[in-house]
Amino acid sequence: MDKSLRDRLARLAISPSDILLPRKGIDLMKWAVVACDQYTSQREYWHQAEVITTDSPSTLNLIFPECYLDDGDAVQRIRRINENMEAYISSGVFDCYPDCFILVERTSESGSRYGLMASLDLEQYSYAPSSRSLIRATEGTILSRIPPRKEIRRGAMLELPHIMVLLNDARRLVIEPLVAKRARLKCIYSTDLMLGGGHLKGYLVNDEADIGMIASGLEAIHSRLDPHNPLMYAMGDGNHSLATARSLYEDLKAEIGQEEARKSPSRYALVELENIFDPALCFEAIHRVFFNTDLERFESALSGNCEGLGKKDVASLDELCREVNSADGVCFGLIRGDQHTVYTLTRPRFALAASVIQACIDSCQLDVDYIHGTDVVESMAGQDGNLGIILPDISKESFFDAIIRDGAFPRKTFSIGHANEKRYYMEARRIR
């Protein structure tokens, strides 16, 4: 690739990669499994995956499903993962596509969404809440989750990303031009995905004209950023995996020196870039249920985080959700028994309802669970002593602005699609 083009991409914290894919003849449906942080309370899902992939090369043999993290056999599992990686490399399981990007087409119940496999520069990523880096976290990073992930990645020869990173590309300048010409790109894989995952296709992007088009689109986005707070890439899924890669990269700099570490493949992490405005990219709010919580205590904490508090009782969950998602300003719904109430905040401390609720959780040390699905919240809030909190949908239009203004959202503010729509492992990259 032309050096000037490579330099343009480097200034944008992005790079093509030598991407590894299973060689022809390997069953790709058995190869690709869903992200390791899904179905953490449903071991039967992973048992089904084990049955499906028996006696076939599979990414299931290269990852550590998080439902097994507390089983006490982590050392043995990690050793097997590293051995399997070495065996797959030495036995020729992979074909290498050098110096490329891959356009990804994922079809699921939400429609067809598109992404771009690319390497991001960890030098320009920070998960600190006050970060002003080009690449940053969108939700709070739990530092205690990084050490066990470091043990998994530390001795690994490969990375297999389930990381999804968002672009604020309302003009559709980066990914969509490739989508429009995908019939002229080489399709390098196409497969159904196991256990209701839909279908996955990948198209090779290695022509310099196409890569130049990617660079131009990213430059156009970059040119509109605030130079004092230039948020270019926002985490969608997998922030703790990216934070782990960054932490190990910092360790490497301490071991071999900054200049040598910068030449290492560990400086980069392979991710899937997605345009936040892709219509098939579904954002869902994650709601809250408080246990053994007095309403007056909660409202007292709430009043400490805004200048005024308005309440409106409504007749049903459906009406509550409509009101919460159509209201101007910061609001949320509260369910207590069979009572449904819309809360509207005047001059709140934060621009996001989830941030206000998190402040209340922190100040009162509330016992909380994080819930997908408003009907589940309503059911749990019907039990004595419980309060259900219905948060508004996440706005794609204001998502990046909210991160710039308030910093990272509280943990578990949003989810991208259902569990079976999360990223499946397909591509790999050597990291040592």
Using the predicted structure, report yes or no on whether residue 41 has a pLDDT greater than 80.
Answer: no
Q: Exposed, middle or buried, 397 (CB in 10 Å: 0-12/13-18/19+)?
A: exposed
Percent share of the chain, pLDDT over 90: 81
Task: Count CA atoms closer than 13 A to 307's CA, side-chain side.
Answer: 2
Average pLDDT for 285-298: 92
> Hey, what amino acid is at 321?
C
Contact 364/297 with Cβ under 8 angstroms?
yes
Provide the H-helix boundaries in 155-306.
176-180, 208-223, 239-256, 258-261, 295-303
Would you say the C-alpha torsion 134, 282, 269, 75 has a positive or negative sign?
Answer: positive
Using the predicted structure, report yes or no on whether residue 425 has a pLDDT greater than 90.
Answer: yes
pLDDT of residue 249: 97
Using the predicted structure, report yes or no on whether residue 300 has a pLDDT greater than 80.
Answer: yes
Whole-model pTM: value is 0.90
Average pLDDT for 111-123: 97
- How far is Cα 34 from Cα 424, in angstroms, rounded to an integer? 4
Average pLDDT for 69-96: 96
pLDDT band of residue 406 (cuts 50, 70, 90) is: confident
pLDDT of residue 290: 94
pLDDT of residue 415: 84
pLDDT of residue 278: 97
- How far is Cα 248 from Cα 39, in angstroms, rounded to an integer? 27
pLDDT of residue 432: 87
Percent share of the chain, pLDDT over 70: 100
**When comparing pLDDT for 193 and 411, which is higher?**
193
Q: Each residue of 240-255: pLDDT tens digit?
A: 999 999 999 999 999 9
Q: Each residue of 9-37: pLDDT tens digit?
A: 999 999 999 999 999 999 999 999 999 98
First to last CA, the chain: 22
Using the predicted structure, report yes or no on whether residue 42 has a pLDDT greater than 90.
Answer: no
Contact 170/277 with Cβ under 8 angstroms?
yes
Q: What number of residues does the chain have? A: 432
Contact 354/362 with Cβ under 8 angstroms?
no
**Token reading at 382:** 């019907």
Average pLDDT for 412-425: 88
Average pLDDT for 55-80: 95
The strand pair at 17-22 and 94-108 is best described as antiparallel
Would you say the C-alpha torsion 407, 409, 411, 417 has a positive or negative sign?
Answer: negative
> Hey, what amino acid is at 160?
L
Using the predicted structure, report yes or no on whether residue 409 has a pLDDT greater than 90.
Answer: no
Using the predicted structure, report yes or no on whether residue 88 has a pLDDT greater than 90.
Answer: yes
Using the predicted structure, report yes or no on whether residue 356 has a pLDDT greater than 80.
Answer: yes
pLDDT band of residue 1 (cuts 50, 70, 90) is: confident
Using the predicted structure, report yes or no on whether residue 268 has a pLDDT greater than 80.
Answer: yes
Using the predicted structure, report yes or no on whether residue 145 has a pLDDT greater than 90.
Answer: no
The strand pair at 135-136 and 330-336 is best described as unpaired
Q: Each residue of 172-187: pLDDT tens digit?
A: 999 999 999 999 999 9
φ/ψ region of 196 (left if φ > 0, alpha if ψ in -120 to 50, else beta) reads left
Q: Each residue of 207-244: pLDDT tens digit?
A: 999 999 999 999 999 999 999 999 999 999 989 999 99
Question: What's the mean pLDDT when you consider all of the chain?
Answer: 94
Average pLDDT for 61-81: 94
